[in-house]
Amino acid sequence: MASVMTCSSIGLRAHVWLLFVLLPVVLVVLLPGVHGGKKFSAVFMFGDSIVDPGNNNHRLTEAKANFPPYGQDFPGGVATGRFSNGKVPGDFLASKLGVKELLPPYLGGDLQLNDLLTGVAFPSGGSGYDPLTSTLSNAMSSADQLELFRDYKEKLTALVGEEEMARVLSQAFFFTAMGSNDILNNYFTLPLRRKEYDLPSYVDFLVSSAINFTTTLNDMGAKTIGFVGVPPLGCCPSQITLGGSPSRECDPLRNQASELFNSKMSKEIDRLNAERNVYGSKFAYVDIYYNVLDLILNPALYGFKEVSEGCCGSTVLDAAIFIAYHSACPNAIDYIFWDGFHPTEKAYDIVVDKLIQQSTQYLM
């Protein structure tokens, strides 16, 4: 028997069809912070070369990347000072959180009002929580970065007033990503701190410094702060080379140091949440260790072919100014690491996706 379709049944089906079409859109609007949603109006970044978009460009330091082959895959093929072949985590975080496509450096650029309203990056390549770390590389220390943030607040206040400045900070997501240079440079490569501390004691010192940085940032107006741990440092190509593994395996001692730092920081972030959440502040420990390690252990799953060599080399000197004008690496898409220390744009993109998924409770 042929079915009879009435006007009411057509209308019902139309409404059902519209529901399925519009539901995803409604969810994105009601659940901001996921891809396409927009809970946060600004993103701010602090850290080292992993997230430095060019603050070191005009600084007298070896830790800079404003020359080829850096930036070969950045829009326009421009070497902006980002330590990769393209974009870095701050860019992807700002983009995936629906704020803007690129997170600009606070220094050296012609920043417009909209740049200031939607967030900037204060990191400095070579920096760390240990003041000695930045001294060794002539980078801006973590304390210097907080001073830049103070300067930013004064500049924005002069432009839009105290109330609007406070609103921007209260609706922003702050990220900090440091610690790698402290562990690698101060403790392993140039063992200056090893003369004063055993590894657990030095990690305790770093954790205490990192917590002081985080609470100071909170006291300066940052309400939502994501603390990014350190990656498996023993798996960086330069550290594999230093570790001496003939089979190019990750160095276990450097990875143990990374895990120890991350474990202690995670517990301290939990403590901060318990103490300061009552004041409307949120702190998120964001794991990067196992996200990067997953890429290394399962490269084919993510489309990578090379896990232990850097596209531009795999020693301590295969990074920053030491590879200035190194020939381009056309198959960077096959590599997890761009140079001896820093991942490729593709690896960053994948890892930031994972970080956002894990931070859903803070993004919604």
Is 134 known to be catalytic? no
Phi, psi of 194 (to 5 degrees): -65, -20
Strands (E), the chain: 42-47, 172-177, 224-228, 282-286, 306-310, 335-337
Question: Mapping DSSP to helix (H, G, I), strand (E, B) and coil, where does residue 337 land?
Answer: strand
Q: What are the structure tokens assigned to 319, written together?
A: 């990074």
Angstrom distance (rounded) from CA 67 to CA 30: 43
Is 339 known to be catalytic? yes
Catalytic one of 130, 141, 342, 359: 342
Report how far apart, in Å, the C-alpha atoms of 272 and of each of 111, 206, 224, 268, 356 are: 33, 16, 12, 6, 21
Counting other chains too, the contacts that 183-187 makes at CB distance below 8 Å and 24 or more residues apart are 183/230, 183/233, 183/254, 183/257, 183/258, 183/261, 184/233, 184/236, 184/239, 184/254, 185/128, 185/133, 185/136, 185/137, 186/128, 186/130, 186/132, 186/133, 186/136, 187/257
Catalytic one of 73, 130, 318, 339: 339
Is 49 known to be catalytic? yes
Angstrom distance (rounded) from CA 27 to CA 180: 38
Angstrom distance (rounded) from CA 122 to CA 152: 10
Q: Is the dihedral of CA 322, 57, 208, 276 positive or negative?
A: negative
Angstrom distance (rounded) from CA 133 to CA 62: 13
Three-class HEC string of 136-151: HHCCCCHHHHHHHHHH
- Contact status, residue 345 vs residue 353, Cβ threshold 8 Å: no
Catalytic one of 49, 258, 308, 359: 49
Residues involved in catalysis: 49, 339, 342
